Amino acid sequence: MKTKLSIALLTSLLALSPVANANLSVNVGAINVNPDNDSSKINEAPALGLRADDDTQLGITIDYALDDNWVLELVAATPFSHDVQGAGGLAGNKIAKIKHLPPTFLAQYHFFDATYKFRPFVGVGVNYTVFFDEEPSAALKATLGTDDVEVKLDDSFGFAAQAGFNYMMSENWGLHGMVSLIDIDTDATVYAGGSKALTSTVEIDPVVAMFGIKYKF
């Protein structure tokens, strides 16, 4: 369903190509979000923590070249899904399943002359992450002694840094690879029977990596 939506989006982008200007390119490929789980604590108790696993989805990034060296990139993807596991004193317990969308907007500087096939780049930007469909685990419900359990994660706004490359194989087709560090911090709140049972700052701060094909209009 989500993949279908993205393919529909991509198809409409490609259909726009005759009117799209030559500064535009689209990258499509696998994108992986790998959370850094070192510093998340529950109720500020150092012995307790949360740990999210990594996930790979279909990534679509859109590049708009301002000139030969400066490019604006929008990173989009189908929604990521992570299992959140307990760490420290909560180790071995699945806490919840969460989904999120992390659109990121970056300004990139591309090295070398515009005629080069291989061009590395670096970028900085901002990220806005929306969490949704948070599902508490059976283990969490059992621990809290009720089925009336809700997990809510606040939206996150943070900075992103990026490095990558484009390799053009023809005038229109190429390869695109990038790695980004994104600052994603959220406040997680667990409600049991309608009242707050646990709060936690969750620093997801993932490494986001993408490899795919590039089409230049």
Which residues make up the interface to Ni ion (CB under 5 A)? Answer: 183, 185, 203, 205
Residue number, 137 or 186, with CB nearest to Ni ion: 186
Amino acid at 198: L
Give the bridge partners for 203, in sequence order.
Answer: 185
CA–CA gap between residue 76 and residue 79 (Å, rounded): 9
Q: Output the smallest distance, CB 62 to Ni ion, in A.
A: 26
Q: Output the smallest distance, CB 101 to Ni ion, in A.
A: 18
Q: Output the smallest distance, CB 202 to Ni ion, in A.
A: 9
Q: Output the smallest distance, CB 56 to Ni ion, in A.
A: 22
CA–CA gap between residue 182 and residue 97 (Å, rounded): 21
Tell how many helices (H) and how many strands (E) occur in the chain: 2, 15
Residue number, 55 or 203, with CB nearest to Ni ion: 203
Residue number, 44 or 171, with CB nearest to Ni ion: 44
Task: Compute the C-alpha angle 34/37/43, nearest 5°.
Answer: 140
**Main-chain phi, psi angles of 14, to 5 degrees:** -65, -35
Residue number, 36 or 150, with CB nearest to Ni ion: 36
